[in-house]
Amino acid sequence: MIRYALVPLLALGTANAHAAHAGTGVAFVHGTGAQTNAYNDYWQPEIVNTVRQGLTNQANYTVINCDFTQYMWDSRAAGCLATQLTSFVNSRNITDLVVITHSNGGNVMRWIMSNPTYDSRYPNIISKVRWVNALAPSSAGTPLADAVMNGNVFESALGWLLGYKNDGVRMQQSSWMAQYNQNNLYGTAGRPALPKGFWNVVGTDVSSGIFSSNAYCGGYTQSVGLEITQNWLSSCSDGFLNCTSQQAAGSLWFRDTTRTGGKVLNHNQSRRACFGLDTILRNDL
C-alpha cells in the first residue's frame, strides 16, 4: 500500500500533473555481461515495447549498454551507467525516472544510490529516481558465482547467463556480497535505507517439464539449464538466485506466483515478457 500511495503524491508535486507525467521516463538496466545491444540481446523488444506503452511519451525510455563483467563501482560499470542515465535524463528532460534492473544490474544501481559522493553525477540521478523495480536482484550474491570461480560444472552450465571468471561474477560470490552489504551498500538488514525505493520481484521456482508450456517462455533450453543448477540452491529459488538473495535489499514488491496467475518466473523469464510481467511493469508506470 505504501508503494502505491506514493503515486498520487507524484502527480501533486507540481501544479500541472500532466507536465509531471510527461517528464516520466524508464531505464532498463541489464545484468552481468558486457552489452552492446541489450535491447535485442538481453531484454528483447517485446518486454521493452510493452513497458514503454505506460509512458505519456513513449520515446522517454533508454536501454543501458555497459560492461557489468566489472566490479560494480568500476568506470565501465557504475561509471558507464551514470553516463548513460545522465545523458538520458538531460536529453529527454526526465524529472521522474523509474529504473528497471535485472539480476546484477540491481547491485550496480544500488552502488550509485548508496554512494552519492563517489561520483558528482550520482546525486542528480538519485534525485530523479522515483524508485527501482529490481527483477530478481542478486543482492546477497549466489552460491553459483562461487562455483563458477572455482571452475566446476556450473561454469559451462551458466556461461550463457552469468559468464565466466570475471570481476562481475567474482563480486557476486555470497561472502563477497555480504562484505559489500555490510560496508559499501545500503538497503540490507541493519544498514541505512536506500534514498529511493528498491522494490523486488522474486522468482521462486523453475518449470522445465517438456510438456509444460510454462517452460518454453523465454527459451526451453534456458529453463532446463536453470532446473539443473537449482539442485544446488534452496527450494525457493529461480535457478540462479535463492529467494533470500532476491529479497536481501530494499522491499518486496511481489513474489512471482502472486501476480502471474500461479506461474513461476525463472531467472531468464524475469527479463522477458512472460506470464504478464511486461504488463505489470507497464501498469506500474
Q: What's the pLDDT score for residue 194?
A: 98
Q: What's the pLDDT score for residue 92?
A: 98
Strand order in the sheet with 251-255: 61-63, 24-29, 96-102, 129-135, 197-202, 251-255
Report the C-alpha gap between 172 and 167 in whole angstroms. 9
Q: What's the pLDDT score for residue 223?
A: 92
Kindly report, residue by residue over 187-225, the tens digit of the pLDDT: 999 999 999 999 999 999 999 989 888 999 999 988 988
Kindly report, residue by residue over 242-262, the tens digit of the pLDDT: 999 999 999 999 999 999 999
Mean pLDDT in residue range 150-154: 66
Q: What's the pLDDT score for residue 15?
A: 37
Which residue bears the cell 560499470?
Answer: 77
Q: Residue 129: name the closest of 118, 115, 113, 105 by CA.
A: 113
Report the C-alpha gap between 137 and 45 in whole angstroms. 21
Report the C-alpha gap between 11 and 96 in whole angstroms. 10
Q: How many helices (H) and strands (E) does the chain have?
A: 15, 6
pLDDT at position 236 over 50: yes
pLDDT at position 1 over 50: no
User: Class of the 23-284 domain?
Assistant: alpha beta
Residue spans of the domains in the chain: they are 23-284
Paired with 237 in beta bridges are: 242
Paired with 34 in beta bridges are: 67
Q: What's the pLDDT score for residue 20?
A: 43
Q: Residue 98: name the closest of 27, 157, 17 by CA.
A: 27
Kindly report, residue by residue over 47-73, the tens digit of the pLDDT: 999 999 999 999 999 999 999 999 999
Residue 22: pLDDT band with limits 50, 70, 90: confident
